[in-house]
């Protein structure tokens, strides 16, 4: 369901289904202050938006990192109150960068539960083409890259062709590897004379910081590119 401004609005049942959680869990997070209250509509029915969904995804990621509920509460309380869905997605991406690669074998119903939505055969084929899932050779299950699943599911609704998405993926991987290589060379010179334990400690602290810096820089650069492109389109429209 969307409003006139294309802002997603969900009932609590729809929000829970999209997040892959139970309604009881969503209500519990609300009572703990981890989730902002919904907007009350006609007949006092609560409506939730993209920010609520993004916040639930962040909470789930924090749980997967082994954080206790009390620690998650402290983390969420430190976040600025006006973060939108995009900002929350950046926080979640930084948190996810702390974890090692996680690939699991799941059944089709479990895959849909993790995705937070029903998946048709075409959807699964697109996820497989993006490298998010892979049919398990030993049965009817799927090998799923949990770090990429939410991203892949989000891309299912993006109005881009499969070819464009795969080309974008190739560009991002190429530039990310290049940036990682250059940064590794830079840091290597700084830590070459340090003890192994010091190097591991520095790496553990630097990884989330570097990921956040890359995400923030990319987000701002992309906004500038889109602003210039849309400005050029507007100029062409006026001159036509």
β-sheet with 103-106: strand ranges across: 103-106, 142-145, 133-135
Note the pLDDT of residue 204.
59
Phi, psi of 104 (to 5 degrees): -125, 160
Residue where the block lists tokens 């049919």: 135
Instruction: Considering only residues 10 and 81, tell me which one the structure prediction assigns the higher pLDDT.
Output: 10
What span, in angstroms and rounded, lies between the C-alpha atoms of 132 and 5?
A: 31
**What would the pLDDT profile of 102-160 be if each residue is shown by its tens digit?**
678 888 888 888 887 889 988 988 888 888 888 887 777 898 887 678 778 878 887 77
The answer to whether the beta carbons of residues 22 and 33 sit under 8 Å apart is no
Q: How far apart, in whole angstroms, are the C-alpha atoms of residue 171 and residue 67? A: 34
Mean local confidence (pLDDT), 85-89: 79
- What per-residue confidence (pLDDT) applies to 31? 92
* Average pLDDT of every residue of the chain: 78
Mean pLDDT of 91-99: 67
Please indicate, yes or no, whether the overall pTM of this predicted structure exceeds 0.85. no
Average pLDDT over residues 75-90: 80
pLDDT tens across 178-204, in order?
A: 877 787 777 666 666 666 666 566 565
Q: What is the pLDDT of residues 16-75, one digit of tens each?
A: 988 888 999 999 999 999 998 888 877 778 899 989 998 998 898 888 777 888 888 988
Alpha-helical (H) ranges within 130-191 are: 146-155, 162-191
Res 82 pLDDT > 80 = no
Residue 162: name the closest of 208, 188, 131 by CA. Answer: 131
- Report whether 166 contacts 135 (CB < 8 A): no
């Amino acid at each position: 369901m969307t409003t006139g401004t294309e802002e997603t609005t969900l009932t609590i049942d729809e929000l829970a289904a999209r997040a892959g959680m139970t309604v009881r869990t969503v209500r519990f997070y609300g009572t703990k202050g981890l989730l902002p209250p919904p907007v009350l509509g006609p007949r006092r029915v609560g409506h939730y938006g993209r920010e609520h969904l993004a916040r639930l995804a962040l909470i789930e990621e924090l749980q997967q990192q082994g954080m206790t509920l009390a620690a998650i509460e402290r983390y969420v309380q430190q976040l600025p109150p006006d973060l939108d869905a995009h900002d929350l997605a950046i926080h979640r991406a930084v948190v996810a960068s702390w974890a090692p690669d996680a690939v699991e074998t799941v059944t089709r119903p479990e895959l849909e539960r993790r995705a937070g939505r029903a998946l048709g055969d075409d959807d699964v084929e697109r996820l497989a083409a993006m490298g998010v899932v892979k049919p398990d050779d030993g049965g009817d299950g799927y090998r799923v890259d949990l770090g990429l699943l939410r991203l892949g599911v989000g891309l299912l609704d993006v109005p881009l062709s499969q070819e464009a998405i795969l080309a974008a993926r190739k560009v991002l991987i190429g530039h990310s590897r290049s940036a990682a290589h250059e940064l590794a060379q830079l840091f290597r010179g700084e830590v070459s004379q340090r003890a192994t334990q010091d190097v591991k400690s520095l790496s553990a602290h630097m990884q989330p910081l570097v990921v956040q810096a890359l995400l923030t820089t990319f987000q701002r650069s992309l906004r500038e590119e889109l602003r210039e492109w849309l400005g050029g389109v507007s100029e062409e429209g006026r001159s036509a």
